[in-house]
Each structure stands twice: as structure tokens, then as C-alpha cells.
Amino acid sequence: MRMRIECVVPFCLAAFAGWGLLPAVHAEVTPYFGGPDASKLTMTNSSAARNEFLAALSSYGVEDLEDNSGANPTLTFGATGITATTGFSNGVNSLPTYAVSGQRFLWDTEGVDDWLQFSEPVTAFGSYIAQGGDGSSSPPISAPANRLTFTLQNTVLGTSKEVVIHDLGPDWPFYNVIFVGVTDTEPFDRISFHESYDYDGLLWDGLIAGQLKQPIPGDFNGDDLVDAADLGIWRENFGSTGMPANTLGDANGDGIADGADFLVWQRHFTAPPAPAAVTSAAVPEPAGLCLLLAGLGIARAFRRA
């Protein structure tokens, strides 16, 4: 128990001195995948994966390819002002049967990692894919699983990372529709697409580029409020380690739910606690915080004993 109290006391002294920590920014990549679903060719049902992806964005634009043609087209993502040059030598093709929206789609090149180079850094990219092969097959021909990987690059900083999205197949029917996407807290301006079994075609349509919402420090449950519910999450996870940034009580991204995260929560507090929780969840002053932390330490020491 003595060791626990010694860990708490320096924090208390720092709190009385007005010490605060700004949230750190740690890279976090999130892949999105949904499908396969043949009904998307008629757009009769929405894609849960696409909806979840869009909900994570603060702004975005969609390129439906209806005004594009030819090889290596330049894409325009709505009114965002974002454009992209491309390396798709098979180019834009027109065949309504295989387009997810409208009549046109972007056909990837077999055996080549196709790519997009954005006019400005983005933190989100997504697209529908109609699976014209590469993991699809018809008996008696069999195709292995085709692992789809995105490479995200920041050409200014010289950084690169690979993100495994999902396996396509094995032996899915032809012309399934899948939604794939990725968000990254680190901006990228180039994305390329690698397939482990790249012998036929993936047909890209409804491409999306945009920006990820900036999380509110201390909003651990993602409801855009920093309130008593978030304090409860911090309290439940106090002392835990290894969680992603701004989740499970870690507000400053150091992988630990501790007193520093409480200070971040306190600074960003935006809503009063629920009436039933006023007494137990009210925002403590620094002295009250010290008692709270010491109490948590003592309770944990007794549990270990």
C-alpha cells in the first residue's frame, strides 16, 4: 500500500501547482470492411460499414465517376476541393450491370498496385468494390482468398504504413459488393492498393476522401459530450494500461488511465452529471482529487491483499 500512496502524492503536488497535460496525438488506424452483398448493385440496402465510416468523418466528398473516362483519370471529391491523380491504367469503364451507382466504375489493373495521389493530405478514404474476380470463382475453378492491403503514405514526411483491410473470398460469387475504408489520425496524401491474388478485376465505385473527426479529450464513450458518464469510465478503468487513445479512461494517449487523464476530463467537462449521480460524480477540486486517487490506491491494495 505504501508504494501506491507514493505514486499518488507527486501527482497531488503537481495538481496543487496547477500542472496540466495536453492530450498527446498518437497514430491510430481504423480499417472498415462490409460485405459481400449482391444487393448493393441496386443500392436497395445501405452498407453498415459505409455508414459507420461516414459517421467518423467531419467532412468528405464522393467521386461517383459519372463524369470521368479513360485511363488514369483525375478524381474530384465533391465540394471539398480535394482532387486526386490516379494510377489505374484500366481506367474508367461504363457498364451499368457492374456499377454500384450510375453506370461507371474504376477497373483495377491486374498484377499492379493501383494508387491515388491526393492534392492535399486526408485522414480518410473509402470505396465500394464490385468483385469482378480476385477471390471470386465459379465451379469447377477455385480461387484462394485475396488479401486486400492499403499502403498509406505521407510523401512530404516520407512516412508509410501498411493496413490490412480484409480477405476477399475464397470462392465468393462474382460481383459481390464490398465496402472498404480506412481512417488514420496521421494524414496521408497517397494510397495504393495491394492484393495477394491479383489476377482479375476489382471494380471501384463511389470513392470517398475526407477528414476524420477530432476526438474530444475526455469523451471516452464517443457521444460528443464530456460528462459524468465519461468520468464513470475513467473511474472503472483507473490504473489500467494498453488501451487506445481517448478510450477507457486514457484521455492523453499515453496508454494509462491515471490522474493526468482526470485533469484532461475536468478541463473539457461540458455537461452536469445526471441528478442521481451529483454526489458521487461531481467534479472534484484538486484536494478532492487527491483523496479520490488515494482511495482508489488503498482499495486496490486491499484487493491485492
Note the pLDDT tens digit of each residue in 97-127.
Answer: 888 888 999 999 888 999 999 999 999 999 9
CA angle 21/26/27 to nearest 5° reads 165
Residue whose C-alpha is closest to residue 239's, from 219, 223, 217, 260: 260
Same domain, residue pair 160 and 250:
no
Mean pLDDT, all residues of the chain: 80
Query: Does residue 288 fall inside a structural domain?
Result: no
pLDDT at residue 262 tops 80: yes
- Max distance between CA atoms of the chain, in angstroms, equals 74
* Residue 50 DSSP SS3: helix
Q: What is the pTM of this model?
A: 0.71
The total of structural domains in the chain comes to 2
Q: What is the mean pLDDT of residues 19-48?
A: 73
C-alpha distances in Å from residue 112, one per residue of 152, 224, 284: 16, 42, 59
pLDDT score at 92: 97
- Residues 121-160: pLDDT tens digits? 999 999 999 887 666 665 556 678 889 999 999 999 999 9
211-238 pLDDT tens trace: 998 878 888 887 888 999 999 999 999 9
**Domain final residue pick, 141, 176, 210:** 210
Residues 68 and 192 grouped into a single domain = yes
285 domain residue, yes or no: no
Question: Do 206 and 232 sit in the same domain of this protein?
Answer: no
**What per-residue confidence (pLDDT) applies to 138?**
58
Q: What is the pLDDT of residues 41-94, one digit of tens each?
A: 777 778 999 999 999 999 999 999 999 999 999 999 999 999 999 999 999 999
In sequence order, what E strands does the chain have?
29-34, 57-63, 75-76, 83-87, 92-94, 104-107, 115-131, 146-154, 159-168, 177-195, 202-212
Task: Read off φ and ψ for residue 124, nearest 5 degrees.
Answer: -150, 140
Same domain, 203 and 249: no
The CATH number of residue 200's host domain is 2.60.120
256 domain residue, yes or no:
yes
pLDDT of residue 134: 62
Residues 162, 261 within the same domain: no
**In this predicted structure, what is the pLDDT of residue 43?**
72
> In this structure, what C-alpha cell is assigned to residue 215?
476526438
Q: How many whole angstroms separate alpha carbon 115 and alpha carbon 125?
A: 12
Share of the chain above pLDDT 70, in %: 76
Does 233 lie in the same domain as 204?
Answer: no
Q: Specify the amino acid at residue 105.
A: F
Output the pLDDT for position 271: 56
Is cis: bond before 140, omega within 30 of 0?
yes
Residues 38 and 143 in one domain: yes
In 3D space, the residue among 171, 98, 96 whose CA is nearest the CA of residue 132 turns out to be 98
Q: Is the pLDDT of residue 21 over 60?
A: no
Task: Say if 126 falls within a structural domain.
Answer: yes
Q: Are residues 43 and 174 located together in one domain of the fold?
A: yes
The string of pLDDT tens digits covering residues 290-305 is 555 555 554 444 444 4
Query: Is residue 128 located within the same domain as residue 246?
Result: no
Confidence of residue 8 (pLDDT cuts 50, 70, 90): very low
* Pair 196, 142 in one domain: yes
| In a shared domain, residues 234 and 96 | no
Q: Is residue 46 part of a domain?
A: yes
Instruction: Please report, rounded to a whole number, the percentage of residues in the chain having pLDDT higher than 90.
Output: 49
pLDDT at 141: 63
Which three cell numbers, joined as nine digits, stand for 3?
Answer: 508504494
Determine, yes or no, domain membership for 84.
Answer: yes
Tally of CB atoms within 10 A around 42: 9
**Is residue 292 assigned to a domain?**
no
Q: So what's the pLDDT on residue 15?
A: 38
Residue-number span of the structural domain to which 235 is assigned:
228-268
Q: How many helices (H) and strands (E) does the chain have?
A: 6, 11
- The pLDDT, as a whole number, for residue 133 is 67
Domain-embedded: residue 279: no
205 and 259 fall within a common domain: no
